[in-house]
Amino acid sequence: MSKVPDLVKRLLVGRALRSTALHHQLLPKRVALPVFASDALSSVAYAPQEILVILSLAGVGLYAISPWVAAAVVLVMLVVVASYRQNVHAYPSGGGDYEVATTNLGPTAGLTVASALLVDYVLTVAVSVANGADYVGATIPFVAEHRPLVAIAIVVLLTIMNLRGIRESGVAFAVPTYAFMAAVIGMILWGLFRLLVLGQELRAPTANYRLLAEQTNIAGFALAFLVLRAFSSGCAALTGVEAISNGVPAFRKPKSKNAATTLLMMGLIAVTMFGGIIFLGLASGVKVTDPATVARDLIIDGHPAGPGYYQQPIIAQVASAVFGGGSALFVVIAAVTALILFLAANTAFNGFPVLGSILAQDRYLPRQLHTRGDRLAFSNGIVILAAGACLLIWAFDADVSKLLNLYIVGVFVSFTLSQIGMVRHWTRHLRTESDAKARFRMMRARVINGVGAVMTGLVLVVVLATKFTHGAYIVCLAMPLLFLMMKGIRRHYDRVAAELAAPEESEVDESMLPARNHAVVLVSKIHKPTLRALAYARATRPSSIEAVSVSVDAGEANKLKDEWDRRGIGVPLKILDSPYREITGPVLEYVKSLRRRSPRDVVTVYIPEYVVGRWWEHLLHNQSALRLKGRLLFKPGVMVTSVPWQLASSDRLRRRREPSAPGASRRSYQQPSKDAQVGT
């Protein structure tokens, strides 16, 4: 039975790796960049567009402000990248923002960061995959009609890839990520060359279209609020920056240096792509608006676009302007963009399990999240992340516009608390540092982190103010619930640890020293499993032993007693009456009565069980034994021992000869001599 699932597991995940092979799974910078940066890089597929969509509410005239909004986003990104370079040098263990906040601001701040990051990682997978499904659905009608189902299937595929191990998934994702970077940067360079050197005009497919403003003649506070809302939407480009600080242990040595270099490369590439797409989009006359209102707000040749109109994403429009619509390079841009949006979820698949492992080690999450799977990946964390993302995709019908409103709140909570923690970190070290050069480096780092804390804090306020009523409130509710859950798990583990703590040698817990061991062998009928259980119980030399059977039928009980006496089995048989034909209840009551008579005695219950080899045979055997064991486990002073008997269908008996070993033979029960018989 166990071989079929194991075979499927090996086909999907691969062969198990030894723990000593962990260093072979560490990533060089060329592989780490696509593994950890795919989320941040893929954001250029939607972050520039989100800025223009929000500004379009006041008409195309407000597009003139978009370069300044984009510049503000770029400034924040550069500051955050510079700040996190300090983080990876100071805290290379992989705890990232959680470790920084816990160490410098206390456990409450650390758990706040952890809850924010866990929620944001789940949203990263849901948003990226749903957005990728949108790109594919624009050209394949089946995907558009079954978007949630396709998105969930992609999440399952990503899960399998990541279960195969960090290095293997990184190599698989490296090619499409580098292809996306090369395609987009190549498009930007060729577009700039045509525009600035050749003097050619770039025309987007929507350049001649007209946009109707949802809000006209706005000024003052309303204008400022709209610009801030556009800025907060553009800050989606910053998601994924923190992933490298959480994944430092996955880098090759020197870990901190390699992680910092990768972080800098990611920041520069993302800024270049983000700024280039905004510039070329404005230069080519791109028009984008809210997908919910595009049918009426976009005017084509004097008429509304209508419900059948499909709004091309900004990258597709820029590619059409630079390379020509329908050209081979245009198709390449569209294909790699859709692919990178799917692969952007891989950043979360690397960050979430590592953070979950650290939280489990600190006893804030179940301990199973701390252990590595067959392929040395944190398999349990990967599966939980995938399940959460699939649930969100199903609940929101894979609607990107709805999911985006939940996005980036958590990541800016972690950004802000992490940078405040780093300021305190450098302040604490400056008190004891006397070397002038070291003090200068620390003061410079403190200034960088201080600026980062102020800027990310302001962005967080803007995000909450502009997105709260549009869905961000859900994240604001989910984070405290997750926080309280982790606090409850920690209290449970602390309580269990205190209860199980071993006493000092000078202290003797009398409850751990039973006066006697009373053996109870459960009997349903006299057959080989029963005789083996009796023999095994006798071999443990208990203080007393008896066989117990439950009478659900008086005739069967009398037959059992007669056969017991006829065989002369030297163990007394006690038959418990069960007027309601229940087996578990009478046994529990009898065991409790033994404990009441002698509270210091231990009662050991021996249960004969069949070992079967076919899955359907498990449904036909051992059900009463399973129920009974489950109930007896809650009784203090009661030990439960299963005595197995392998049936012919089990692999061990059918495929190879059973070795001659103590307790392995299947001899018939030998009637013991009178001197060896045990009575009560």
Condensed to tens digits (0 to 9), the pLDDT of residues 110-143 reads 999 999 889 988 988 888 888 778 767 766 777 7
pLDDT tens readout for residues 457-488: 888 888 888 777 777 788 889 999 999 999 99
Q: Quickly count: other Cβ atoms within 10 Å of residue 544's Cβ.
A: 15
Structure tokens at 667: 């001899």
pLDDT tens readout for residues 52-101: 888 888 777 788 888 999 999 999 888 888 888 888 888 877 667 888 89
Structure tokens at 483: 């926080």
Q: Which residues of 589-624 are buried (b: 16+ CB within 10 A; e: fewer)?
A: ebbeebbeeeeebbbbbbbbbbbbbeeebeeeebeb
Q: Is it the case that residue 14 has pLDDT exceeding 60? A: no
Question: Among residues 628, 601, 596, 586, which one has the least CA distance to residue 517?
Answer: 601
Q: Provide, rounded to the nearest whole percent, the portion of the chain with pLDDT above 70.
A: 84
Tokens 């030990």 sit at which residue?
Answer: 639
674 or 261, which is more confident: 261
Q: What is the pLDDT of residue 278?
A: 92
Please tell me the distance from the alpha carbon of residue 306 to that of residue 310, in angstroms, as a whole number. 9
Please tell me the distance from the alpha carbon of residue 16 to that of residue 127, in angstroms, as a whole number. 32
The pTM (predicted TM-score) of the whole model is 0.70
Please tell me the distance from the alpha carbon of residue 294 to that of residue 297, in angstroms, as a whole number. 5
Q: Is it the case that residue 25 has pLDDT exceeding 80? A: no
Confirm if 102 and 109 have CB atoms less than 8 A apart.
yes
In the chain, where does the domain assigned CATH 1.20.1740.10 lie? 27-490
pLDDT band at 497 (very low <50, low <70, confident <90, very high): confident
Per the prediction, the chain carries an average pLDDT of 81
Mean pLDDT (whole number) for 275-282: 92
Q: Quickly count: other Cβ atoms within 10 Å of residue 495's Cβ.
A: 10
Please tell me the distance from the alpha carbon of residue 78 to that of residue 96, in angstroms, as a whole number. 18
Q: Is it the case that residue 661 has pLDDT exceeding 70? A: no
Q: Which residues contact 129 (CB under 8 A, 6 or more apart)?
A: 151, 154, 155, 158, 341, 342, 345, 389, 393, 398
Question: Among residues 652, 647, 643, 641, which one has the least CA distance to residue 618?
Answer: 647
Q: What is the pLDDT of residue 672?
A: 47
Mean pLDDT (whole number) for 404-410: 76
Q: Is it the case that residue 5 has pLDDT exceeding 60? A: no
Q: 27-490 in CATH: which number?
A: 1.20.1740.10
Element (H, E) at 604: strand 602-611
Q: What is the pLDDT of residue 385?
A: 92
Q: What is the dihedral of CA 75, 78, 84, 85, to 10 degrees?
A: -150
Assign domain 516-654 to its CATH architecture.
3-Layer(aba) Sandwich (3.40)
In the chain, where does the domain assigned CATH 3.40.50.620 lie? 516-654
pLDDT band at 374 (very low <50, low <70, confident <90, very high): low
